[in-house]
Structure 1
Amino acid sequence: MFRASTILLALAAVIFGCWQLFASKSEADNKARDKPSIELMTSLPIIWGEGSSMEKILSGDASPAAIYEYWQSQYDLKAVDSLEGLTGRDTDIVMLAQPRAMDPADIALLDDWIRKGGHAIILTDPALVWHSDLPIGDSQRPLASGMLSPLLQYWGLELLAPDDERAGLVELEFDDFSITTAGVGSFAELQQASEAKAVCLMSAGGIMARCKVGRGQAILVADADFLNQELWPDASALETGGETQAMRFTDMLLAESGDVSSVSND
């Protein structure tokens, strides 16, 4: 009897342990599903740092930038070089952060995906001030100027270089956020645009455009330098695991990317 009871208790413990494991996995899966799925295309050295190589990554000498680590902790983030197959993936938001020149097929795919209800955050900087030790022309050097003119023109927009007031360090204020950046551009609507023109609401100075594109939406910012932690006046918050204004600003952009109610076709 004692041995039978022991076996029953052992079986119960195993079953309970398996249930706990299953419950923990289900909870983890649910939490993962609760995180927005983001595909990121960027030329900025934020994924493994500047000039990273597989050898540096494996040896631990390369590490992600603070903004990238933060996104990894908050979102289901995946860095990609192409959007091929996007329509077949469960992606919530596409983020372009000063991406390299996109293949025409990727541009067409992104436009179609947004028009069918997709959401995008586009950070395109006409005068990136991000310091790089890599020589001009190096494939790993971040792009000095945004290369999304074909997409912007299709939507009826133009990216303008910064004027004298925005050429140096700039403090930008959006709602309750204040971020430090440099070389801020602006968007302007083209006088002659295609029938595929997006319906956009511009912020003061044209620094941000919130556009309805078909059934989807794209939020555009004419700057990407604000992702550079070297410009963050509140970078000390990282030492205690805190969040900076730049991090919270990107959270706001991502949170609002799914809300198209304030952009009208009228």
Structure 2
Amino acid sequence: MNKIVVGAALAGLLAIGALALALGGPAGTAEEPHDQRFGLMTSLPIYRAPQASVADMLDQAGDEAHWLRSAVEAHNTLEPLDLLDAKSLAGIDTLLLVQPRALTPAEYVALDDWVRGGGKVLLVADPMLTSEPHFALGDPRNPQAVSLSGPILARWGLELVADEGEGHGHDHGIDGDEAGHAADHEVELDGHTLPVTYGGTFEKRPPAGGDPADCSLRNAGLIAVCQIVEGRAVVVADATVFERNSGSGDAAGVLWVLLGMMRDAPGE
């Protein structure tokens, strides 16, 4: 009798475990995806680093890949995107917009349509990067220092507000993988550490036209998780972890946790 009960209980646990795997695991957990197609648009040197000369290109040919690229490409494909339109977004499972350049009106429409149709996007919109630019000020090869994602945020009912509190000076800019830099503070995400330096917060606003997005704010407004009709978006107001070429052991875990938050969108 006891063996029958134990066997039934074990079978039940296995069934629950199989169901959890099928659903992608508990919301917000750091589960690494497999066999997914990621699209990447970023002004940061994540997929490729801009070079000042052929000599620089040769010098950096043997450098290790950025931690995000290594993490994603371990079990998935990562496709750099220079343009957002229906064609480039077709077949993308998850879009990574990490401090992107200013999008054109047509690109904003394509992005919004794609998300509302079921697309998933992680948007990193930092109000002020803290890394030192590698090129002269104004050089287009530098990362986008100030987020220009305001139009799509407004469309989804969000506003990015810069944190101007004490301790957010610019006299300690980080340099890619500089190990000595200490973040202003750290945020714990499901047991992983997200460094935050001169980040911002999101505030909810009436959406700028179209069907409203259903967004919830997390971690004192640092992160917004949105259900946008059939699609989902996770929006982060700080890019520190992505600015660093060599992520800590937590960097990839933070990425998977952020992507896992899409399973916990308000509309679910």
Shift of 1:245: 0.9
Query: Which is richer in helix?
Result: 1
Q: In the TM superposition, what whole-angstrom CA distance separates every residue of 1:79-125 from its partner, at most 9, and x where no partner exists?
A: 11112244773110111000000111111011001111111000010
Shift of 1:52: 6.0
Letter in structure 1 aligned against 2:115: I
* 1:224 aligns with one of 231, 235, 239: 239
User: What are the within-5 Å matches in structure 2 for residues 1-266 of structure 1?
Assistant: 34-51=34-51, 57=57, 59=58, 61-62=60-61, 63=63, 64-86=65-87, 89-165=90-166, 167=168, 169-191=184-206, 193-229=208-244, 235=248, 244-257=249-262, 259=263, 262-264=265-267
Assess if the C-alpha contact under 8 Å between 1:121 and 1:219 holds in 2. yes
Runs of 4+ aligned residues of structure 1 deviating over 4 Å after TM superposition are: 52-57
Distance 2:119 2:232 in 1: 7
Distance 1:39 1:52, change over 3 A: farther
Distance 1:45 1:68, change over 3 A: same
5+ residue gaps, structure 1: 1-32, 236-243
TM-score if structure 2 supplies the norm length?
0.73
Distance 1:53 1:251 in 2: 35
TM-score if structure 1 supplies the norm length?
0.74
Secondary structure of the residue aligned to 1:164 is coil
| Structure having the higher Rg | 1
Sequence identity, in percent? 29
Moved more, 145-154 or 223-232: 223-232
Root-mean-square deviation (CA), in Å?
Answer: 2.6
Q: How many residues align?
A: 220
Shift of 1:56: 5.1
